[in-house]
Structure 1
Amino acid sequence: MISEAKKPIPHSLTVSCCSPRIWLMVAVLQLNGLLLSHQAHAASTEWKEALPGWKYVFPRDHGPHSNFKTEWWYATGNLTDEQGHEYGFQLTFFRQGILPGGKPAGSSRFRLSELPFAHFAFTDVGAHTFRSYQISSRGAFGEAGFAIPPGRMAWLNDWSLAMNDRGDLMLKADTQQQGEERGVDLKLVEERAPLIHGVDGISRKSSKPGHASHYYSLTHLKATGSVIVNGKAHAVSGLVWFDHEWATNQLDKGDSGWDWSGLHLSNGDDLMIFQIRDSQGKPSFLTGTLRTPEGKVQTINDLSMTPHDPWKSPHTGGLYPSSWDIKIPSRNLELTLSPKVSDQELVLSPFAYWEGAVRAKGVKSGTSITAEGYLEMTGYGGKTLGLGE
């Protein structure tokens, strides 16, 4: 009899997740044979789903939600050093639950209740270079975990996200690979209240009922600190966008990929947009959230995202859009989104996705406007587990 951990992985897996990004994490963990366990099957009916009526409470909701199966903490930022050189980064911590509610009291340290996983990517805009890294751990000796702040919120080895008593986030990641070093060490000061996405405490992921997550962002984090490039530290400042999302229920079957962006507009607006694409590559669901500097929040229901000018990856042969036309008629907003560096593709066998620093320009109510932020595109660069054939 083949053990659960050694069963062959099919080409298409149905993955229970709260957000499109979770597919990426679950795919890698499945390849490592970590999710296919008797514990997971035994507890599968006990997970909570993201339902209307959730009341967000902080700092509680900055921490883990162990009764939900999937969760992630995600930070992206555009930074500039004292000489005007631009950098971008992504640091994401994932939690995939195995036992609802966490590990029972008195359990062995080797008994898994959740699986930590993390991605770190770094863009040097002036040098036109991009590096990405991934690590995972069972966390049996405290080297990985999640907690309610103050203190560490998420950590894995030397990568960490913490919050001090004043509510400032402290973010660190540093790694060396093949003789190259990339790192970030930042203090993030929250300038705006948490932005809650969706309606009545849930962010829908489909026009059909039962597909939703709990999702909020800290959109306007003032960043100061340093980045490290091959052993040399550069003092930097900039803006960081932080997302936190959790749920259990899965996305619709047959979806082939998604496109997401978080943007800081030059008029002070914060904008999050995403679309999910069907098996034909057409949008099956689009939505977003816009917040003005005065704090007015609008859920975007008239979003359109039109791709242009395919860029062919030299790594996977995937064809990614190299620009996007974004239109939101209700806000009289039109933007053209383009990457700061063309090649910001994370190649993580057997799948790949594009996640990188972007800039935009356009018009809002007849006035010119610009933007900076991050863009994520999946389903273009080869097969992704969880997305089907």
Structure 2
Amino acid sequence: MKRLLPLLTAALLGACAPVQTTIDPAALPRATDYGPHHFPMEWWYVSAFIPDEGLALHWAQFRVRDSRLPVPLMISHVAVTDLRSGTLSFLEQPAGSGDAASAPLQLTQGAWTFRQQGNSPAAPFELKAGPLNLTLTPLKAPVIHPPGYSGGPGVGALYYQGVTRLALKGTVGGRTVQGQAWLDHQWGNQIPGQTALWDWFSVHLQSGDDLMVYRVRRPDGEVAQLIGSVVDPGGQVRPVTGLRATPGDTWTSPAGHTYTLGWRLQADDFDLTVRAVRREQELRSRSTRIDYWEGPIEVQGTWAGQPAKGTGMMELVGGVQR
């Protein structure tokens, strides 16, 4: 069975999608719902750009369910960008068994773990994965990002929950760090790289506001959904109105995917320019057979009529490996 797991996962995520389960956009989950769930696809992400340390990091735990398999498959990624040395390291655990339980949330795949240290929404999380040994303490309450899901008919949908700002402390590769992080959690019937691609932005603004923008694309590149949310300094979430995302500068990776690394994000109350800090951030996953760009960004412009600056992370899905 262990030898078959990588082949089965590649089939599920590449050529033959799991049987999809209908989600109900009118019945949204609780903001404190960290999972796990009985849907074909579920993942948890932690991402952080720590400018003072010259570091950016990304951890992802995927959980894939299919009626043809006896147990859910777990896959996990860790990427660390060292801006001082100009290096990107990418580690992954291939498809295999693992544990997922709640509440409190407990995720385990091999020696990598992600655990919340209590049932309170304010309880810290502990992440131990490869070079990461971190404590993540929520600075804001968990939210459901309006309208509650990403995607929709034709591309599949994922419920969308998370914490937009957490205090980060610990070590990365043995180096002591502290900064701020972002936690995402999604689940549903959307199959990354096959039924949908996306461009995703998470921004911590100096004002204390947190901005999320999600641009879901069909495999042919047509935009299927554009949504955004703001979590204000007090932790209240609201949808972005009048949102527009205008692509700018592009970069073509050695694998042949073209990623848009410069953007203009506009809405009724902001006008922001997004710039990738470093181009060479493509992650080529052997376990999922999907290529995606994940890296730090800098943002500046106006917010509520005032000058604004911020930093964050951007994720651009290139698609199934060629």
Q: Which of the five TM-score ranges fits, normalised by the shorter chain?
A: 0.7 to 0.9
For the aligned residue pairs, the C-alpha RMSD in angstroms reads 3.2
Residue in 2 aligned with 1:203?
A: 149
1:225 Cα deviation from its structure 2 partner: 0.8
1:248 Cα deviation from its structure 2 partner: 2.6
Aligned positions, number: 315
Residue in 2 aligned with 1:12?
A: none
Residue in 2 aligned with 1:121?
A: 79
2:282 to 340, 345, 353: 345
Residue in 2 aligned with 1:259?
A: 199
1:135-155 Cα deviation digits (max 9, x unpaired):
12432xxxx2111133x6212
Contact 1:154 1:160 in 2 (8 A): yes
1:94 Cα deviation from its structure 2 partner: 0.7
The residue identity in structure 1 corresponding to 2:90 is S
1:89 to 37, 48, 57: 57
Residue in 2 aligned with 1:359?
A: 298
What is the CA–CA distance in structure 1 between the aligned matches of 2:297 and 2:99, rounded to whole Å? Answer: 31
What is the CA–CA distance in structure 1 between the aligned matches of 2:26 and 2:193, rounded to whole Å? Answer: 19
1:334 Cα deviation from its structure 2 partner: 1.2
1:33 Cα deviation from its structure 2 partner: 7.4
- Asked whether 1:75 is paired with 2:16, we answer no
Residue in 1 aligned with 2:10?
A: 31
1:376 Cα deviation from its structure 2 partner: 0.7
1:306 Cα deviation from its structure 2 partner: 1.5
Residue in 2 aligned with 1:17?
A: none
User: What percent identity do the matched residue pairs reach?
Assistant: 27
Contact 2:13 2:192 in 1 (8 A): no
1:234 to 146, 166, 175: 175
TM-score by length of 2: 0.86
SS at match of 2:115: strand
Consecutive aligned runs of 4 or more in structure 1 exceeding 4 Å deviation: 26-29, 32-37, 208-211, 249-255
1:151-186 Cα deviation digits (max 9, x unpaired):
x62121122111112611001111xxxxxxxx1111
- Asked whether 1:187 is paired with 2:141, we answer no
Residue in 2 aligned with 1:303?
A: 243
Alignment of 1:234-383 (within 5 A): 234-248=175-189, 257-278=197-218, 281-313=221-253, 315-328=254-267, 330-331=268-269, 333-348=270-285, 351-379=290-318
Residue in 1 aligned with 2:36?
A: 64
What is the CA–CA distance in structure 2 between the aligned matches of 1:70 and 1:85, rounded to whole Å? Answer: 34
What is the CA–CA distance in structure 1 between the aligned matches of 2:225 and 2:175, rounded to whole Å? Answer: 41
1:75 Cα deviation from its structure 2 partner: 0.6
SS at match of 1:126: coil
Where does structure 2 lack aligned partners over 5 or more consecutive residues?
Answer: none
1:98 to 66, 69, 89: 66
Distance 1:338 1:115, change over 3 A: same
Residue in 2 aligned with 1:159?
A: 112
The residue identity in structure 2 corresponding to 1:196 is I
Which entry has the higher C-alpha Rg, 1 or 2?
Answer: 1
TM-score by length of 1: 0.72
1:250-269 Cα deviation digits (max 9, x unpaired):
699875x3201111111111
Residue in 2 aligned with 1:49?
A: 23
Contact 2:155 2:195 in 1 (8 A): no
1:53 Cα deviation from its structure 2 partner: 2.1
